[in-house]
Structure 1
Amino acid sequence: MRLRAEWLDDPASRAVTDALEGAGHRALYVGGCVRNALLGAPVSDLDIATDAAPEAVVAAAAGAGLRAVPTGIAHGTVTVVSDGRPYEVTTFRRDEETDGRHARVAFTAEVAEDAARRDFTMNALYAAPDGAVVDPLEGLPDLLARRVRFVGAPDARIREDYLRILRFFRFHAWYGDPSGGIDPDALDACARHAGGLGRLSAERIGAEMKKLLAAPDPAPALAAMAASGVLARVMPGASASNVASLVHAEGDLPPRWERRALALGGAVDGWRLSNAEARGMERRAGAAASTLPPAALGRAFGREAAEDAALLAAAAAEGGVPAETFERIAAGAEASFPLAARHLMPALEGPALGEGLKRAERAWLASDLTLDREALRRIALGERA
């Protein structure tokens, strides 16, 4: 099979592969770029595997006038920059020792050994610069069938790095065929080794979960996670029962991992979110708990949080969100409170002025922002009287 992709013929890509091949080495694209191109999915990063040792990669790049950055040279990775684009070039490797989180590797000249250390067969696909697909482990049929299958024995792959449990469900969410079910042997292995997730850092767990939740429809994968006991390990108290109805309510709206996380209802304390992410989750939780009408919700919590709250409410009722609701939320998020202190002075001053403005704003929110300035002024003054 031959891969066809614009980036194969890009002069920047050609410069990197020509530099390696010109120095007598193999240059094979590998992993996500090959997988996604074969599926017709977007490709972001371009990774290259080679039989050249890291020092030889640096020398080949320098000989071709390309910049080489030793970003992970101890693990065999050199970033080669061509026309401003980074290409991660990694020497073929085999695992010498693993501890469930990290691996000690040795370099090899054999692509089959490099493929054997990868997690899933669909990630063990390579492509030559001319597009010829190299498939040492017969992963192409799995990819075309959208079947997520571990390389070799699932138990062995998981013990090498327990993050592969979460990656299994994430890849099923993004690339698996829900109608084909999930690999039962892999699912059993994930359940057996779920305790190993406790050895992972919060950052790694959070990163995987956010990627999983951003899939077009993560509901089947999350249901399998819940059934295997894995979901409870990374999100205590979570339930996957509302996610399918949420995805249905979302329709063509872009997915947001925060919205799906709230639908699960569990704790995300163990994900080590950034301050901005934590604040975003708090806003969404506040909006979801609020009884404010749509425009007022948008005004109080912002457009994204209010939209997510409306979708979560619709999912709980197994319904949808009317377009008018989104329009009101958007209008509310842009609205400005029409009453200012100058409209109440000198009738109100000092603490009474602040109290009057607060009363008027509460009434404005309760009216879904429909009260005009004069009505709000009367409310502020009338409350005072």
Structure 2
Amino acid sequence: MVKVTGDWLTQPQTQAVCAMLTDAGHQAHFVGGCVRNALLDAPVSDLDISTDAHPERVMELAEAAGLTAVPTGIDHGTVTVISGRIPHEITTYRKDVETDGRRAVVAFADTMVEDAERRDFTMNALYCDAAGVVVDPLGQGLDDLKARRFRFINDPAQRIREDYLRILRYFRFHAWYGDAAEGLDADALAAIATNLAGIEALSRERVGSELIKLLSAPAPEQAVAAMRQCGALAMVLQGVDDRALAPLVHLEQQTDMAADGIRRLAALGGEEDGRGLRLSNEQRKRLAIYRDHIGTAEGAGELGYRHGADMARGILLLRAAMLEMPLMSGSFAAVDHGAAATFPVKAADLMEAFPGRFHGRALGDALRRLEALWIASDFTADRAALIDAS
């Protein structure tokens, strides 16, 4: 018998949700990411529960138990039950009736096996009850998870045609949970290669979200290389080149830099500025800073001063990975020095020291010139010396 443990499972709020169902004679099994991650000793976030109770019954039971029920996806059998401010997505066993690669028409199912057969990957089709006892209804998930072998359930091509986003999810999940030594499943890659056109049917928001999640994995270079080799990467991004990704990941690990999906997206190059991937404004801004400063002559200290320590370190790593420039000893210390520096001269200082001399564009030009002198002094020139240099 295999069991999972963890505070996420034993917390009273979650046990109350399970009891709400089981005390009424229904099944309640956690499924998917929470079970997979618990077995892999990875953090658990989303709590998904599968049940034979229909959504209207779940709503009724939640109300009777004094819990908040929100019909977040009731047409597809999903009700979010909030217990002690913790959301639990409860979904009735389902089976696909019709799919078009983006949306599915589903019917409620009677058994866990039917529910498992419509899921995407074997290690995502693992269930556990409120006591943590794991159920592997298809008889494949536990073995694949133990081997870190990431595979589609049954026929990969059929799984893909049900939802073409599974192409990108396959690479993303392999990057996070697969065994690099095991490699990527040949049947999966063949099915992906013959169904690449389906990527065009996906919303760019979904594509962008999956890509950033993939690139944020600790070591995504193998999965990205496989995407390139089977043609999926070119379907997602035009004109990209992943040769700098592995060196960048290596440098991040050497310097204890946290993984950053946007920094790694910058390393792929291409023409994508984030609009086509529907990235957030903040993500697009960071992507632009990374790309705009890879080839500039700004030193480490100036990068730290202008963009902050973390962004400046990222630019230095990108330069080293993409331009094959060495990461100079002491460069991170220079970044920190610049990031901590504050330009000592303000507009009012020049206007007070030279009444009537500086105004408008001339004032801005003077401040920029003094700032350049200050940076060139390694941030040591003080206010009086800079004003004298005016």
TM-score, normalising length from structure 1? 0.94
5+ residue gaps, structure 2: none
Q: How many correspondences in the alignment?
A: 380
Q: Deviations over 1:209-267 (max 9, x none)?
A: 01001100101101101111111111111111111110110122211111100111122
The aligned residue for residue 335 of structure 1 is: 341
Cα deviation digits, residues 136-192 of structure 1 (max 9, x gap): 112110011111100111110111110000000000100010111110110111111
What are the residue-to-residue correspondences of 1:33-112 with 2, within 5 Å?
A: 33-112=34-113
Query: 1:333 Cα deviation (Å)?
Result: 2.4
Equivalence for 1:136: 137
Equivalent residue number for residue 355 of structure 1 = 365
Q: For residues 240-259 of structure 1, what are the structure 2 equivalents within 5 Å?
A: 240-251=242-253, 252-259=256-263
CA deviation profile, 1:285-315 (whole Å, cap 9, x unmatched) = 2232321111111222333321211111122
Q: Which residue of 2 aligns with 1:346?
A: 354
CA contact (8 A) 1:302 1:333 kept: yes
Alignment counterpart, residue 294 of structure 2, candidates 288, 295, 314: 288
Q: Percent identity between the aligned chains?
A: 51
- Hey, what's the Cα distance between the residues in 2 that align with 1:236 and 1:63? 54
1:177-196 equivalences under 5 Å are: 177-196=179-198
Contact 2:29 2:127 in 1 (8 A): yes
3-state SS in 2 of match to 1:97: strand
Is the 8 Å Cα contact of residues 67 and 80 (structure 1) preserved in structure 2?
A: yes
**1:371 alignment counterpart:** 381
Letter in 1 for 2:346: A
Q: Secondary structure at the match of 2:259?
A: coil
Structure 1: which 5+ runs fail to align? 381-385
Secondary structure at 2:279's aligned position in 1?
coil
Residues 249 and 320 in structure 1, CA contact (< 8 A), matched pair in contact too: no
Q: Give, in whole Å, the separation in 1 of the partners of 2:247 and 2:228.
A: 16
- Give the 3 Å change call, closer, same or farther, for CA 7–23 of structure 1 in structure 2: same
SS at structure 2 position matched to 1:207: helix
Greater displacement, 338-347 / 175-184: 338-347
Change (3 A) 1:11 1:264: same
Is 1:292–1:365's contact at 8 Å kept on the other side of the alignment? no
Residue 69 of structure 1 contacts residue 79 of structure 1 at CA under 8 Å; is this kept in 2?
yes
AA aligned to 1:108 is A
- Is the 1:360–1:376 Cα contact (8 Å) retained in structure 2? yes
Residue 207 of structure 2 aligns to which amino acid in structure 1?
Answer: I
Pair 1:200-2:208 in alignment: no
User: How far apart in 2 are the matches of 1:26 and 1:193?
Assistant: 37
Aligned match of 1:299: 305
Q: Deviations over 1:16-46 (max 9, x none)?
A: 1111001110000000000000001000111
Q: CA RMSD in A?
A: 1.8
Residue equivalent to 1:383: none
In 2, Cα distance between equivalents of 1:368 and 1:95: 65
Where 1:270 maps in the other structure, the secondary structure is coil
